[in-house]
Amino acid sequence: MSQDTLVKRQFGHRSRLALSPAGVRKADDQAHAARTMWNLLHAWWRMMPKEKRTLANADAAIRQARGDIDFLAVLPAQAAQAVLKTYFQAWKNCWDGRADAPNFKGRLRTVMSVDVPQGRDLNIIRVHRRWGMADLPKIGRVRFRWTKDLPVGKRANAENRITGARLIKDALGWHIAFRIQTLEATPAPHQGPDVGIDVGASVPITLSNGETYEHDEWLTGPEQARLLGLEQRAAQRKQHRKPGEYTSHRLRHTYDQIAGLRAKAKRRALDWQHKTTTTIARAYCTVVVEALTITNMVKSAKGTIDQPGRNVAQKSGLNRSISGEAWGRTFTMLTYKTARHGGTLHKVPAPGTSLRCSACGLTTPGSRESQAVFVCKNPDCGWSGNADGNAARNVLHLYRMGLALIPAAGRAVVRRAKRVKPATAR
């Protein structure tokens, strides 16, 4: 295989850590020290004149802070340098218009994390089928769940290796996110068929060939009942808290239990999305989706005092269903997974796809009888079928007609390209 057929790929992989109570305390201390280091850097930045805001002066300041404050000394030196580089990169992103200006990190609203910049310091080995072990600076040797083959040992070289990692804490505990760099072969062009996709709240994914992908509730019945009970308990305990009073330990513990159940639901949703998008990317050459403006779709219908909205409660339930399906995350997964398998993803204009008949191509008022049934009211057609499948076929037909969207000057424009192939059966 020639070097021209290889392409460098960088990605991340996240695994759960099995820390002892002492290890959890050490990781928590390092995360709080990293957050404090960020806040000290931000205070130093705002205090210094512009001509003295240099990387060298900031490095000298954090070195002095780690020597003067014992609490900051628990943070490894390389992790402190990573905080410094991340802070300067945040300002570069702000100056380039890619993000807002960095600000102070609050204790309760900030994700606890610690960076391990050097991958060689981890000394990763695989213990057996389910567990691996790694060295964490100032924490020790810890176990993590082995759910993916990592380039370690004899498999590691200059092109295939772990370049670093980050320790992240969420409601389910501490995790380690590896940064992996590999050299892979350029995928051959996919030879599969084209497919259009319609996403919805009741049926998450419907393909133009009639295939559907559905899922159960992310939480089981007992888990939903427990979540409801915890939310009611939190509301009751919150009533007894006076304005400005600190949250009690019992209320904080209830909040942590609620966050744990919601994190479990999100983890199951991510697992379903990854498996579904991988199946689609492997089976189809070209995947066509609608260019949806999801932020506008989930806006509240509450209205104003002068012009109050209608069906506010129903719209709120629909907004929660749309947000729960995470269509944008599904499209993002399909984008890079189709590229990895030699396929492509295209977006077409969304207006009219659910109201237009895929058989005759006309939009007749009243054809969308319900959320699931489409009956064409055109006297010369009269086609009937599943509404989501009809929309998916319209999405694919728009692509075959050459109507694809390309980004231009921060907005989407229609590109009328050469007709790909005639639509044989829409």
Domains and CATH numbers, the chain: 1-186 (no CATH), 187-216+260-426 (3.30.420)
d(CA 255, CA 61): 37
Q: Are 33 and 110 in contact (CB under 8 A)?
A: no
Q: Which residues of the chain have pLDDT under 50?
A: 1-3, 408-426
Q: Are 258 and 251 in contact, with CB atoms under 8 Å apart?
A: no
Q: What is the Cα–Cα distance from 151 to 126, expressed in whole angstroms?
A: 11
**What pLDDT is stored for residue 270 in this prediction?**
92
**What are 72-88's pLDDT values in tens digits?**
989 999 999 999 999 99
| Euclidean distance between CA atoms 117 and 85, whole angstroms | 11
* Nearest alpha carbon to residue 208 among 289, 133, 127, 147: 289
For 34-68, the pLDDT digits (tens) are 999 999 999 999 999 988 888 899 999 888 888 88
In this structure, what are the phi and psi dihedrals at residue 155, rounded to the nearest 5 degrees?
-80, -15
Instruction: Give the number of other Cβ atoms within 10 Å of residue 411's Cβ.
Output: 7
The pLDDT value recorded for residue 388 is: 85
Q: Which amino acid is at 344?
A: T
**DSSP string of 370-385, one letter each residue:** SSSEEE---TTT--EE
Instruction: Look at residue 406 in the predicted model and tell me its pLDDT.
Output: 59
Sign (positive/negative) of CA torsion 288, 294, 296, 302? positive
Torsion of CA 386, 371, 328, 189, to 10 degrees: 10
Give whole-number Cα distances, 158 to 120, 155, 182, 340, 354, in Å: 12, 10, 9, 22, 51
User: CA angle, corner 98, sides to 96 and 100, nearest 5?
Assistant: 100
Amino acid at 215: H
At 277 the pLDDT is 94
Q: With CA atoms as reference, report the closest residue to 19 among 29, 10, 9.
A: 29
Rounded CA separation 153/155 (Å): 5
- Predicted local distance difference test score (pLDDT) of residue 307: 67
- Strands, DSSP E only, in 246-320? 286-290
Secondary structure (DSSP) of 56-103: HHHHHHHHHHHHH-GGGGGS-HHHHHHHHHHHHHHHHHHHTTSSPPP-
Does the predicted TM-score (pTM) go above 0.85? no
